[in-house]
Amino acid sequence: MKLIPLNKQSKKAQKKYHARSRRDWNGLKPTTRVVKSKKVYDRKKMQKPTIEQE
Protein backbone atom coordinates (compact mmCIF):
# COMPACT_ATOMS: atom_id res chain seq x y z
CA MET A 1 0.00 0.00 0.00
CA LYS A 2 1.38 3.39 -1.01
CA LEU A 3 1.52 6.18 1.53
CA ILE A 4 0.06 9.41 0.16
CA PRO A 5 0.93 12.67 1.95
CA LEU A 6 -1.98 14.09 3.92
CA ASN A 7 -2.08 17.36 1.95
CA LYS A 8 -2.38 15.37 -1.31
CA GLN A 9 -5.34 13.30 -0.07
CA SER A 10 -8.96 14.26 -0.69
CA LYS A 11 -10.76 16.46 1.84
CA LYS A 12 -12.93 13.49 2.83
CA ALA A 13 -9.87 11.34 3.53
CA GLN A 14 -8.21 14.17 5.51
CA LYS A 15 -11.35 14.59 7.60
CA LYS A 16 -11.45 10.85 8.30
CA TYR A 17 -7.77 10.87 9.35
CA HIS A 18 -8.22 13.84 11.72
CA ALA A 19 -11.42 12.39 13.20
CA ARG A 20 -9.52 9.19 14.04
CA SER A 21 -6.74 11.09 15.82
CA ARG A 22 -9.09 13.27 17.91
CA ARG A 23 -9.70 12.38 21.54
CA ASP A 24 -13.00 10.81 22.55
CA TRP A 25 -14.96 12.53 25.34
CA ASN A 26 -17.10 9.43 26.10
CA GLY A 27 -20.43 11.24 25.90
CA LEU A 28 -19.32 14.32 27.85
CA LYS A 29 -19.78 17.77 26.39
CA PRO A 30 -16.64 19.80 27.10
CA THR A 31 -18.44 23.11 26.60
CA THR A 32 -20.63 22.46 29.64
CA ARG A 33 -17.53 22.04 31.81
CA VAL A 34 -16.35 25.67 31.38
CA VAL A 35 -16.25 27.62 34.65
CA LYS A 36 -17.60 31.17 34.38
CA SER A 37 -15.41 34.04 35.52
CA LYS A 38 -16.31 35.47 38.94
CA LYS A 39 -15.54 39.00 37.68
CA VAL A 40 -18.34 39.04 35.11
CA TYR A 41 -21.57 40.79 36.16
CA ASP A 42 -24.55 38.44 36.32
CA ARG A 43 -28.11 39.83 36.56
CA LYS A 44 -29.54 36.47 37.58
CA LYS A 45 -27.34 36.20 40.65
CA MET A 46 -29.23 36.74 43.90
CA GLN A 47 -28.70 40.20 45.31
CA LYS A 48 -28.49 40.91 49.00
CA PRO A 49 -31.87 41.98 50.45
CA THR A 50 -31.97 45.51 51.83
CA ILE A 51 -32.97 45.96 55.45
CA GLU A 52 -35.51 48.72 55.91
CA GLN A 53 -35.36 50.51 59.24
CA GLU A 54 -38.46 52.19 60.65
Which burial class, exposed, middle or buried, applies to 36 when counting CB atoms under 10 A from its CB (0-12, 13-18, 19+)? Answer: exposed
pLDDT at 43: 80
What is the predicted pLDDT for the residue at 54?
Answer: 56
Say if CB 16 and CB 8 are below 8 A apart. no
- The whole-number pLDDT of residue 53 equals 59
Can you point out the beta strands (E) in the chain? none
Per-residue pLDDT at 34: 77
**Where are the alpha helices (H) located in 1-54, listed in sequence order?**
11-21
* Amino acid identity, position 28: L
What pLDDT is attached to residue 6?
92
Which regions of the chain are under pLDDT 50? none
Distance CA 50, CA 54 (A): 13
